[in-house]
């Protein structure tokens, strides 16, 4: 039977019956290594995503199939079990399995024998960063198992085979020489095997290394061992760990005393629904009072600001979201909320959402965070407690707070209680709080230290006696600061100067003292804390000193490189610190019980020691993929600003991905302050210029462009100079200096030495400038030239160029080109993972398809576009897409869907006004009102739309609104009054070159001529239109129907019928009804059979999608074409619709008269 053996603890090897096999590619090895480590079947999609994470899912799966195909027919094929959905390893032996078995059985020797080197040594896979990240973690995992086995095997060998134990300890210390417990063990073994002199020599080398790397002296236990070796004594037995000094439990959870007045104020604020703010110096008891009050009111969420949050966008709210989700559960959130907040809590989504690229996208994130607060409140967590607000300083978190408070407070769903140190609060927050208080929305309570009576009450409750003299001494020493008082009491218990006897406190001075001046009280919180820490031992101090610089929510792993402690020593030290009340478990790691404790330890460090600790913390955080801002800050404080530059750049890029542009600017600024220079400085200025552009702050933008040009010319790099010129041209175009923009671009266009990609950008920029100037044909040529030069058809530039060209092509009536360019743009945006761009490309494609007549498919495409725009948070695109959906749904008679999308679009105007789109939405609302026969309302709405168009002054909107009004005038029998509006519209169309409106304009002129008894003039006007082609199928239908009316007016029903039937009518109920009315009139006059046409008309009307006026016209035509028995029924239906329309015109008497003149009984 064949035997497959896999060896991965060292260079990967595969053996079949002892014969070494070769796998043809690194990707196959990566696949095997991953499956072996998992030890179970893995979904094919997950494996494909791991190894080809830069490709889309379909391409990644195809690559996976290709790799599996390479194994076919080879001896290694038996290693894999291939199923349609999963992959796994078949039966095999491996060193991973054997090592795991040995570790489970405590066979440390057997486990060590399996290790030949690091896990999958030498394996790396280009282009698979996700796999590389996994491989790094897996290597660390197996390295940790080797260390555990080596440590325990050395312990086993100590007594009988000390030389082998020595060798293992040396191997362990080569990897990490700062495991001081191992150093002690090796010193003791060296003394036994090689003598005390060799051991002392090793100690001196370690001591020098520790001093050089950490500015530390060895631990007391190590010093004691060395002293014994110097005296020729045997090493001492391992000391039993000492419990920290006994401190009464009541001191860890003291009673709340001396805050009765403040509690009453808080209760009054609660009853009136006002927000609560507590302000006061550190240690005064804000947190305790706030938490006790919140607990008395029900379930609450506790949020904490931290010093380490500085520079990390949304850090405060990211923690808040994680805590909220632990209470709420992600499944209870709407899918759009999960998608948005996964930007801050990545585990909520399988794939990361696209970066936020617009203000609308950022507002969607803010609304999602607010929705989490609402959901929490509905789930019963109605109180949000925020502590240490003074540490919340990043602009992004401040914006979230302001946004959420403005929405949640009026809704009375959630109640906020907030504490802060007033003197440390940043001005914007302080002003916002004062404004809330002045407007009666909030109450601010300034918390003072406890009065002497309060300290007396505290001591009385804790000690079980009055102790007036002791209380006075404690008050005088601490100023009534509760934290200082409690730390002083803990220190007195730790030193033995205070003890508990039969439940009562006592001191050695009780009998003789007059005022307890004999008590050795610390002069400050810092002194009290440091005395206590000293009594807990050297390992605890090392751990706490590193922790004081690490930031809140740290893990022992983050501190591991900065303490020179083994994992076990660090864990024991942390447990001692927790039991002593110095550290406590937080939702995201360990943290100090109070910020003053952290400060006390931090302030006791020398400058040199701080630098060393910051450097070590930075190294460990970098290895653990910590927040770039934190790594940068540690490096700066370690005196290594140049090394911080790349981390500041990473922090800026991370901020940009969530549209925290202010914070990104701040990070780039710090990169420059840290000494970014040369090409790096150029890139920083380029990024800052783009950020100022996004923020629309022209002064900052211009300043960065000047710095960009100076940097480019100082470096003497023509490529950088060209990039600076391009950036300057974009600024000139944005600020309306089009001539200057074109002037900057001209030298770039003429320089053949420039890289093609830059010349492509120059042509693209020139095309955009010409387009803004209304020179569309010239712009189109420039964009095509940009596409010819652009190296990649899937680049962002190619995507934008095709998007613009698709817009232009549709506007010019070239629908095939419009669709082609939209598809090219879609492919490029898809390759970039740009969902906002995908939404815009699908919008253009849907529009082109719909105008071409395939409205059903257009609606499908536009629904996809809307999904992409919503996912990207692009409100502007959503509104455009909703308008197009309305257009095509209305044209197909899907009125409910059209109305729903119209209302959805109008709702999006609320927070983001847009006069142009407001006018379009009003116009479309008037169309719906007209559909229902509400002509009075429709006229009012359309007049409002025209007023909006006049205010914004955009020619297209002004022309379209006039054309729509002309339709109403002609419909309602006011043909003469329509003429001035037609003249105004024509002037706007000609002046702005609005070619897409010309056919509509001429058809309206012709219709007016028919209604004013000028049918010959109408036909002459329509003749060139009827020859086509039509940019919009509706233009052809409108022209044919109007020509049919003209032929009927001339008594030529045959020509009327021929004209209407020659052109295909789009699937638009109003046009279908009017064309059918002409066909019925003409057929009746020609005395042809009409039952089939009448049945067609009845079916169209039964669908209930024909507007009231068109239905009236169709019923009138049916009454003339039907047999007398049916004709009466149709006349009644027409009269009913006539009355309904007339009723809607009660407030418009002149229009009502005109309408009844044309459609009433006398008409």
Listed ranges 376-390, 796-810, 1026-1040; the one with the highest mean pLDDT: 796-810
Kindly report, residue by residue over 1134-1151, the tens digit of the pLDDT. Answer: 999 999 999 999 889 999
Query: Closest Cα to residue 618, out of 556, 695, 558, 566?
Result: 558
Instruction: Tell me the pairing of strands 442-446 and 13-16.
Output: unpaired
Q: Is 200 left (phi over 0), alpha (psi -120 to 50) or beta?
A: alpha
Tokens of 329: 């559960």
Average pLDDT over every residue of 438-447: 91
For residues 318 and 208, membership in a common domain is answered with: no
For residues 60 and 105, membership in a common domain is answered with: yes
Say yes or no to pLDDT of 1087 above 50: yes
Average pLDDT over every residue of 325-333: 73
Residue 193 belongs to a domain with what CATH number?
A: 1.25.40.10
Report the distance separating Cα 99 and Cα 225, nearest Å: 35
CA distances (Å), origin 176, targets 165, 427, 544: 17, 47, 21
Q: What percent of the chain has pLDDT over 90?
A: 40
- 841 touches 864 (CB < 8 A): no
C-alpha dihedral over 421, 425, 431, 433, to 10 degrees? -40
Kindly report, residue by residue over 738-760, the tens digit of the pLDDT. Answer: 889 999 999 999 888 889 999 99
Dihedral pair phi/psi, residue 3, rounded to 5°: -125, 120
User: What is the DSSP secondary structure assignment for residue 496, as one 8-state letter?
Assistant: T
Kindly report, residue by residue over 333-344, the tens digit of the pLDDT. Answer: 888 888 888 888
- Between residues 76 and 471, which one has the greater pLDDT? 471
Tokens of 731: 């600024």
For residues 598 and 613, membership in a common domain is answered with: no
Say yes or no to pLDDT of 403 above 80: no
User: What is the DSSP secondary structure assignment for residue 278, as one 8-state letter?
Assistant: E
Q: Which of 146, 177, 195 is the last residue of a domain?
A: 146
- Between residues 1105 and 678, which one has the greater pLDDT? 678
Kindly report, residue by residue over 258-281, the tens digit of the pLDDT. Answer: 899 999 999 999 998 888 999 998
- 895 touches 931 (CB < 8 A): yes
Q: Which of 99, 114, 146 is the last residue of a domain?
A: 146
Number of domains in the chain: 6
| Whole-number pLDDT of residue 835 | 83
Helices (H), ranges, 790-874: 796-811, 815-832, 835-851, 855-872
Is 649 part of any domain?
yes
Say yes or no to pLDDT of 1163 above 50: no
Average pLDDT over every residue of 282-289: 90
For residues 577 and 610, membership in a common domain is answered with: no
Structural domain including 336 reads 264-448
| Whole-number pLDDT of residue 131 | 87
Mean pLDDT check: name the lowest of 54-58, 412-416, 710-714, 902-906. Answer: 54-58
Kindly report, residue by residue over 488-524, the tens digit of the pLDDT. Answer: 888 888 888 888 877 788 888 877 777 777 777 777 7
Q: Which of 122, 146, 170 is the last residue of a domain?
A: 146
Angle at 527 between CA 523 and CA 530, to 5 degrees: 165
Report the distance separating Cα 408 and Cα 479, nearest Å: 39
Residue carrying the six token digits 């719906």: 928
Dihedral pair phi/psi, residue 645, rounded to 5°: -55, -55
Is 940 part of any domain?
no
Confidence of residue 1068 (pLDDT cuts 50, 70, 90): confident
| Whole-number pLDDT of residue 666 | 92
| Whole-number pLDDT of residue 11 | 94
User: What is the DSSP secondary structure assignment for residue 119, as one 8-state letter?
Assistant: B
Query: Closest Cα to residue 257, out of 457, 482, 448, 452?
Result: 457
For residues 284 and 348, membership in a common domain is answered with: yes
**DSSP assignment string, 538-559:** HHHHHHHHHHHHH-SSB-HHHH
Which residues 6+ apart lie within 8 Å of 999 measured at CB?
1025, 1030, 1031, 1032, 1035, 1038, 1039
Is 215 part of any domain?
yes
Query: Closest Cα to residue 549, out of 508, 503, 493, 605?
Result: 605
Report the distance separating Cα 876 and Cα 288, nearest Å: 47
For residues 482 and 422, membership in a common domain is answered with: no
Q: How far apart are the first and last CA of the chain?
A: 101
Mean pLDDT check: name the lowest of 204-208, 497-501, 541-545. Answer: 497-501
The total of other beta-carbon atoms located within 10 Å of residue 83's CB is 10
SS3 track for 978-1001: HHHHHHHHHHHHHHHCCHHHHHHH
Q: Sign of dihedral through CA atoms 994, 998, 999, 1003? A: positive
Kindly report, residue by residue over 4-19, the tens digit of the pLDDT. Answer: 899 999 999 998 888 8
The total of other beta-carbon atoms located within 10 Å of residue 700's CB is 16
For residues 1073 and 1090, membership in a common domain is answered with: yes
| Whole-number pLDDT of residue 277 | 95
Say yes or no to pLDDT of 1092 above 60: yes
Is 350 part of any domain?
yes
| Whole-number pLDDT of residue 1115 | 95
For residues 340 and 388, membership in a common domain is answered with: yes
| Whole-number pLDDT of residue 119 | 93
Kindly report, residue by residue over 948-981, the tens digit of the pLDDT. Answer: 888 877 788 899 999 999 999 999 999 999 999 9
Kindly report, residue by residue over 825-843, the tens digit of the pLDDT. Answer: 999 988 887 888 999 999 9
Q: Is 414 left (phi over 0), alpha (psi -120 to 50) or beta?
A: beta
Average pLDDT over every residue of 161-189: 89
Listed ranges 298-302, 412-416, 876-880, 963-967; the one with the highest mean pLDDT: 963-967
Angle at 319 between CA 316 and CA 320, to 5 degrees: 85
- Between residues 1125 and 637, which one has the greater pLDDT? 637
Is 630 part of any domain?
yes
Is 1001 part of any domain?
no
Is 796 part of any domain?
no
C-alpha dihedral over 1028, 1029, 1033, 1034, to 10 degrees? -40
Confidence of residue 1161 (pLDDT cuts 50, 70, 90): low
Tokens of 506: 């006592």
The total of other beta-carbon atoms located within 10 Å of residue 1065's CB is 20
Listed ranges 408-417, 514-523, 692-701; the one with the highest mean pLDDT: 692-701
Report the distance separating Cα 609 and Cα 216, nearest Å: 8
Say yes or no to pLDDT of 331 above 80: no
The total of other beta-carbon atoms located within 10 Å of residue 246's CB is 11
| 587 half-sphere exposure, CB direction, 13 A CA radius | 15
Instruction: Tell me the pairing of strands 4-7 and 13-16.
Output: antiparallel
Radius of gyration of the chain from its Cα atoms, rounded to whole angstroms: 40
Instruction: Tell me the pairing of strands 383-387 and 415-420.
Output: parallel
- Between residues 677 and 212, which one has the greater pLDDT? 677
| Whole-number pLDDT of residue 894 | 82
| Whole-number pLDDT of residue 337 | 84
For residues 296 and 430, membership in a common domain is answered with: yes
Task: State the angle between helix axes of 1091-1102 and 1108-1121 in degrees (0 to 180), rounded to the nearest 10.
Answer: 160
Q: What is the largest CA-CA distance in the chain?
A: 133
Three-class SS of residue 282? Answer: coil
Q: What percent of the chain has pLDDT over 70?
A: 97
For residues 54 and 35, membership in a common domain is answered with: yes
For residues 586 and 619, membership in a common domain is answered with: no
Kindly report, residue by residue over 418-430, the tens digit of the pLDDT. Answer: 999 988 888 888 8
| Whole-number pLDDT of residue 1027 | 85
Is 734 part of any domain?
no
Tokens of 1012: 């004013």
- 559 touches 570 (CB < 8 A): yes
For residues 210 and 291, membership in a common domain is answered with: no
């Amino acid at each position: 039977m064949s035997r497959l053996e896999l060896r991965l603890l060292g260079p990967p090897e595969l053996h079949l019956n002892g014969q070494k096999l070769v796998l043809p590619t690194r990707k196959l090895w990566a696949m095997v290594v991953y499956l072996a480590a998992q030890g179970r079947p893995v979904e094919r999609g997950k494996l494909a995503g791991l190894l080809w994470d830069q490709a889309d899912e379909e391409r990644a799966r195809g690559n996976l199939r290709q790799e599996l195909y390479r194994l076919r027919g080879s001896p290694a094929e038996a290693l894999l079990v291939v199923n349609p959905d999963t992959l796994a390893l078949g039966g095999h032996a491996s060193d991973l399995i054997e090592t795991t078995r040995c570790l489970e059985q405590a066979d440390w020797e057997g486990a060590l024998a399996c290790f030949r080197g690091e896990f999958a040594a030498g394996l790396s896979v280009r282009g698979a960063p996700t796999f590389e990240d996994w491989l790094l973690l897996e290597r660390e995992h197996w390295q940790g198992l080797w260390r555990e086995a080596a440590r325990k095997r050395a312990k086993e060998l100590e007594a009988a085979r000390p030389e082998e134990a020595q060798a293992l300890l040396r191997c362990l210390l080569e990897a990490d020489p700062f495991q001081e417990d191992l150093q002690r063990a090796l010193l003791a073994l060296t003394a036994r095997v090689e003598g005390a002199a060799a051991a002392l020599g090793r100690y001196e080398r370690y001591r020098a290394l520790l001093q050089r790397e950490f500015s530390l002296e060895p631990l007391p236990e190590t010093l004691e061992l060395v002293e014994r070796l110097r005296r020729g004594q045997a090493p001492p037995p391992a000391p039993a760990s000492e419990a920290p000094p006994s401190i009464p439990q009541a001191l860890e959870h003291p009673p709340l005393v001396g805050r009765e007045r403040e509690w009453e104020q808080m209760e009054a604020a609660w009853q009136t629904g006002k927000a609560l703010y507590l302000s006061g110096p550190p240690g005064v008891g804000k947190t305790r009072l706030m938490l006790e009050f919140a607990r008395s009111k029900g379930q609450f969420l506790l949020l904490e600001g931290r010093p380490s949050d500085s520079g990390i966008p949304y850090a405060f709210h990211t923690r808040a979201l994680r805590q909220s989700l632990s209470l709420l559960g992600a499944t209870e959130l709407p899918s759009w909320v999960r998608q948005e907040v996964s930007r801050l809590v990545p585990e909520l989504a399988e794939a990361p959402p696209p970066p936020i690229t617009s203000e609308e996208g950022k507002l969607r994130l803010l609304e999602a965070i607010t929705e989490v607060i609402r959901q929490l409140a509905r789930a019963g967590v109605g109180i949000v407690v925020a502590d240490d607000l003074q540490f919340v300083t990043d602009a992004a978190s401040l914006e979230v707070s302001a946004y959420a408070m403005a929405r949640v407070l009026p809704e009375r769903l959630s109640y906020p209680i907030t504490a802060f140190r007033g003197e440390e609060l940043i001005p914007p927050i302080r002003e916002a709080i004062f404004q809330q208080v002045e407007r009666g929305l909030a109450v601010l309570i300034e918390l003072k230290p406890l009065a002497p009576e309060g300290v007396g009450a505290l001591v009385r409750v804790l000690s079980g006696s009055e102790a007036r003299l002791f209380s006075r001494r404690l008050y005088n020493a601490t100023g009534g600061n509760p934290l200082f008082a409690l730390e002083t009491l803990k220190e007195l218990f730790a030193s033995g100067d205070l003890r508990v006897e039969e439940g009562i406190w006592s001191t050695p001075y009780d009998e003789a003292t007059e005022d307890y001046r004999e008590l050795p009280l610390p002069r400050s919180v810092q002194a009290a804390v440091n005395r206590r820490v000293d009594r807990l031992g050297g390992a605890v101090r090392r751990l706490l000193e590193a922790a004081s610089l690490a930031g809140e929510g740290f893990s022992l792993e983050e501190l591991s490189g900065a303490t020179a402690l083994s994992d076990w020593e660090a864990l024991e030290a942390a447990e001692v610190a927790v039991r002593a009340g110095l550290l406590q478990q937080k939702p995201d790691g360990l943290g100090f019980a109070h910020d003053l404790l952290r400060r006390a330890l931090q302030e006791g460090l020398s400058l040199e020691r701080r630098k060393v600790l910051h450097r070590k913390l930075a190294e460990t955080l970098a290895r653990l993929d910590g927040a770039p801002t934190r790594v940068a800050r540690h490096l700066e404080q370690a005196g290594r600003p140049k090394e911080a530059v790349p981390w500041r750049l990473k922090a800026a890029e991370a901020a940009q991905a969530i549209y925290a542009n202010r914070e990104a600017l701040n990070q780039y600024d710090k990169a420059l302050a840290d000494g970014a220079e040369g090409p790096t400085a150029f890139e920083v200025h380029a990024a800052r210029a783009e950020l100022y552009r996004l923020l629309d702050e022209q002064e900052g933008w211009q300043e960065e462009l000047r710095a960009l040009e100076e940097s480019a010319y100082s470096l003497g790099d023509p490529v950088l100079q060209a990039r600076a010129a391009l950036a300057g041209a974009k600024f000139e175009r944005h600020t309306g200096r089009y001539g200057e923009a074109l002037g900057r671009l001209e030298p770039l266009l003429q320089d053949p030495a420039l890289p093609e990609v830059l010349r492509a950008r120059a042509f693209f920029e020139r095309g955009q400038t010409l387009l803004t100037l209304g020179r569309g044909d010239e712009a189109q040529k420039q964009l095509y030239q940009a596409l010819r030069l652009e190296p990649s058809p899937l680049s962002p530039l190619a995507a934008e160029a095709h998007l613009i060209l698709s817009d232009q092509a549709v506007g010019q009536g070239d629908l095939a080109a419009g669709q082609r360019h939209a598809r090219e743009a879609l492919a490029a945006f898809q390759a970039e993972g740009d969902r906002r761009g995908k939404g815009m490309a699908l919008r253009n494609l849907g529009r082109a398809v719909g105008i071409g007549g395939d409205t059903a498919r257009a609606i499908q495409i536009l629904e996809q576009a809307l999904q992409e725009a919503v996912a990207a948070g692009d409100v502007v695109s959503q509104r455009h897409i909703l308008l197009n959906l309305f257009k095509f749904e209305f044209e197909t008679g899907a009125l409910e869907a059209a109305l729903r999308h119209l209302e959805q679009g109008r709702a999006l105007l609320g927070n983001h006004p847009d006069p142009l789109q407001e006018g379009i939405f009003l116009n479309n609302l008037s169309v719906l009102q007209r559909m229902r026969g509400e002509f009075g309302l429709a006229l009012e709405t359309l007049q409002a739309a025209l007023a909006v168009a006049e205010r914004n002054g955009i020619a297209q909107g002004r022309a379209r609104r006039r054309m729509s009004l002309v339709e109403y005038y002609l419909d309602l029998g006011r043909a003469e009054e329509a003429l001035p509006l037609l003249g105004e519209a024509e002037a706007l169309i000609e002046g702005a070159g609005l070619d897409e409106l010309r056919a509509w304009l001429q058809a309206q002129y012709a219709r007016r001529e028919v209604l004013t008894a000028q049918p010959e003039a109408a036909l002459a006007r329509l003749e060139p239109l009827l020859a086509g082609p039509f940019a919009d199928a509706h233009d052809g239908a409108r022209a044919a129907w109007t020509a049919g009316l003209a032929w009927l007016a001339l008594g030529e029903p045959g020509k009327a019928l021929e004209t209407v039937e020659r052109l295909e009518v789009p699937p638009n109920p109003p046009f279908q009804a009017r064309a059918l009315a002409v066909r019925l009139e003409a057929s009746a006059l020609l005395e042809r059979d009409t039952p089939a046409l009448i049945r067609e008309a009845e079916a169209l009307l039964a669908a209930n999608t024909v507007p009231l006026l068109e239905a009236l016209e169709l019923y009138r035509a049916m009454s003339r074409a039907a047999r007398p028995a049916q004709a009466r029924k149709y006349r009644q239906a027409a009269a009913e619709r006539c009355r309904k329309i007339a009723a809607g015109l009660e407030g418009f008497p002149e229009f009502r008269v005109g309408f009844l003149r044309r459609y009433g009984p006398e008409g």
